[in-house]
Amino acid sequence: MVATTRPETIMGDTAMCINPNDPKNQHLKGKKVIVPLVNRVIPVIEDDYVDIEFGTGCLKVTPAHDVNDYMLGEKYNLPSIDIFNDNGTLSEAAGLYVGQDRFDVRKQIEKDLEAAGLLEKVEAYTNKVGYSERTNVVIEPKLSMQWFLKMEHMAQIALEPVMNDDIKFYPPKYKNTYRHWMENIKDWCISRQLWWGHRIPAYFLPEGGYVVAVTEEEALKKAQEKTGNPALTMADLRQDEDCLDTWFSSWLWPISLFDGINNPGNEEIKYYYPTSDLVTGPDIIFFWVARMIMAGYEYEGKMPFKNVYFTGIVRDKIGRKMSKSLGNSPDPLDLIAQYGADGVRMGMMLAAPAGNDILFDESLCEQGRNFNNKIWNAFRLIKGWEIDETASVPEASQKAIHWFESKQNEVAAEVADLFGKYRLSEALMAVYKLFWDEFSSWYLEMIKPAYGQPISRSVYSTTLCFFDNLLKLLHPFMPFITEELWQQMYEREEGESIMVQYFKLDTYVDVPYVRQFEVAKEVIANIRSIRLQKNIAQKEELELQILGTNPVAEFTAVIKKMANLSELTSVETKAEGAASFMVGTTEFAVPLENMIDVEAEIARMEAELKHKEGFLQGVMKKLSNEKFVNNAPAAVLDLERKKQADAESIIASLKESIAALRKQ
């Protein structure tokens, strides 16, 4: 008994297939069966392709109208009977229902099988059916005459260079996809039934056979020679109406770009080929990338490019690929109108690690627009300052300049390294943080003159130089705003552009200074947190006490300005009721005197104390577990012990502060 979803193809069946390991169908081995209605005797073949658990385990094989059946037909040398005309009606080869539409036959054959007593049952079944995206008509697999290119040799010459990293893939995980395609390659069907494209240069002869030629004149000459008939004319020849697969012309792109096919060995192809980088999507690794590599080695004897960078595929929020039919693809022009071209570019690139798909969300573009605004506002702030040609450079500005120069050099080196590794989204994030966090939030605040006061010419010029460097770092990611602001920074010559400017920063980085400055930033951040927690206005000057040696003495001027402090003093004992915090192993304290609500502050600190004691209890439970201590890596144990020490220090400080407040 055979189950099928395609009864209209019964007339094309040329075998029945069973799985040789199927116990329920062992009695059919070596037998023959009769095709219903047409009474054709066909063999029972055996193949592991048949799923034992699916249906009856008996598969009707129709090589002319099913891709998988065709493979079985090739494997077992079965005849292929094409029972369909090109318009979807049954052909003379079917023997029955000739001229009727395939779907009408599906209904009629069900009735005829039942009338003949050959129908066991009919049941509803959900099946995957391919539809044409242009006509929305069910696709019918059908045998046809096509042109093929043998691919075994092509795959061999293209596999090794990628596996050996002569051609590098970024990310390298796609080498596995590439290898799978190359090791399981099939001959390439290069003909397409289209009305546009490169027409296949094959000409059929009147008595059978064909010739292949570049021009009609060459085709006629070859035809006359092949047939031995000098009287042949072009009217006697018929050029194949099919076109070449679009990838058949695209695979020559690195060569044809420099006219290397029509003009081999010309100066351009000798100079530019092979190219450096190919940027493309992973969904066309086989269709385009692999075939360009094949063509490069076959026709030029060397690789077409040295590196391949695979971008991610943009999908919607729920992971579906963008498509017109789903209506889930936003109009890029609408996005650009709302967020700006650079906003859209930057938002997409931040969310696009190499080779990973991007789940598109407009909030990404909004983030990009906000960053554009940040850049623009920073420029307006700098350009809005009044300049004093004679003013000296404040100490805080000196420290800020020395720090930021090293910081930008450090990040520029990191960005260059990330570019070399094709980690573009990480490179953008590094520049993003440099501009937003370090330049805007710290550097500009450190050098900013008091309200209504001018800025030193020296500091102003250095700041513009830093801004120029930042624009150049950002330009590959955000070309429009960086070009616009670069043009406005100074008076430019006609035709000058940021995109052709030489850019190389000093490699010197004062690493100890940069690291020490991070400690100063942490001190400032803690003082600001105290202001926020205690509701103390920024205009109120505070005092900072350092218990023991001051680790940030170098940055006293910066800390005083950024935290609005009257003084920093080293003390043996902090003031009673002072709010304290730890940075590293050093305790800092801010005397509060009558600036806070004592009862509210005690309540807040007791809640924090309870939380820290609970945290410490969890850490101690781990460290008292003999199994954990004996099996955990040394680094993990060190981390847990550090957590214990930090928690104990904070708890002691909180208890001391609470006790001091209760004395008030």
* Sequence-distant contacts of 256-260: CB under 8 A, at least 24 apart: 260/299, 260/300
Domain count, the chain: 4
Q: Transcribe 107-167 into DSSP letters.
A: HHHHHHHHHTT-------------B-TTT--B---------EE--HHHHHHHHHHHHTTSS
Final residue before a domain boundary, out of 115, 130, 164 = 115
Confidence of residue 260 (pLDDT cuts 50, 70, 90): very high
Q: How far apart are CA 97 and CA 19, in angstroms?
A: 32
User: What pLDDT is attached to residue 662?
Assistant: 78
The yes-or-no verdict on residue 111 having pLDDT over 70 is yes
Examine the domain organization and report whether 193 and 271 are in the same domain.
Answer: yes
Rounded-to-10 torsion of CA 551, 553, 558, 559: 60
Whether 414 is in a domain gets the answer yes
Examine the domain organization and report whether 71 and 108 are in the same domain.
Answer: yes
Whether 122 is in a domain gets the answer no
Asked if 529 and 554 touch (Cβ cutoff 8 Å), the reply is: no
Examine the domain organization and report whether 92 and 11 are in the same domain.
Answer: yes
State the CATH number of the domain containing residue 22.
3.90.740.10
- Summarised one tens digit per residue, pLDDT across range 604-626 is 888 989 999 999 999 999 888 88
Q: Which domain holds residue 265?
A: 148-200+240-310
State the CATH number of the domain containing residue 478.
1.10.730.10
Confidence of residue 263 (pLDDT cuts 50, 70, 90): very high
Confidence of residue 158 (pLDDT cuts 50, 70, 90): very high
- Radius of gyration of the chain measured on its C-alpha atoms: 38
- Summarised one tens digit per residue, pLDDT across range 310-355 is 988 888 888 888 877 778 888 889 999 999 999 999 988 887 776 6
Q: What is the mean pLDDT of the chain?
A: 90
Examine the domain organization and report whether 271 and 162 are in the same domain.
Answer: yes
Examine the domain organization and report whether 56 and 165 are in the same domain.
Answer: no
Q: 568 - beta bridge partners?
A: 544
- Over the range 476-498, which residues count as b (16 or more CB within 10 Å of their CB) and which as e? bbbbebbbebbeebeeeeeeeeb
Final residue before a domain boundary, out of 479, 509, 539 = 509
- The predicted model scores a pTM of 0.73
Whether 559 is in a domain gets the answer no
Examine the domain organization and report whether 350 and 301 are in the same domain.
Answer: no
Examine the domain organization and report whether 254 and 402 are in the same domain.
Answer: no
Whether 522 is in a domain gets the answer no
Whether 585 is in a domain gets the answer no
Whether 220 is in a domain gets the answer no
State the CATH number of the domain containing residue 647.
1.10.287
Examine the domain organization and report whether 497 and 363 are in the same domain.
Answer: yes
Q: How far apart are CA 193 and CA 207, in angstroms?
A: 24
Examine the domain organization and report whether 15 and 88 are in the same domain.
Answer: yes
Examine the domain organization and report whether 292 and 351 are in the same domain.
Answer: no
Final residue before a domain boundary, out of 509, 538, 554 = 509
Whether 343 is in a domain gets the answer yes
Q: How far apart are CA 108 and CA 55, in angstroms?
A: 23
Examine the domain organization and report whether 301 and 339 are in the same domain.
Answer: no
State the CATH number of the domain containing residue 154.
3.40.50.620
Examine the domain organization and report whether 384 and 455 are in the same domain.
Answer: yes
Q: What angle do CA 118, 119, 125 make, to 5 degrees?
A: 150
Three-state SS letters, 223-244: HHHHHCCCCCCHHHCEECCCEE
Count CB atoms within 10 A of the CB of residue 424: 22
- Summarised one tens digit per residue, pLDDT across range 445-483 is 999 998 889 999 999 999 999 999 999 999 999 999 999
User: What pLDDT is attached to residue 270?
Assistant: 93
Whether 582 is in a domain gets the answer no
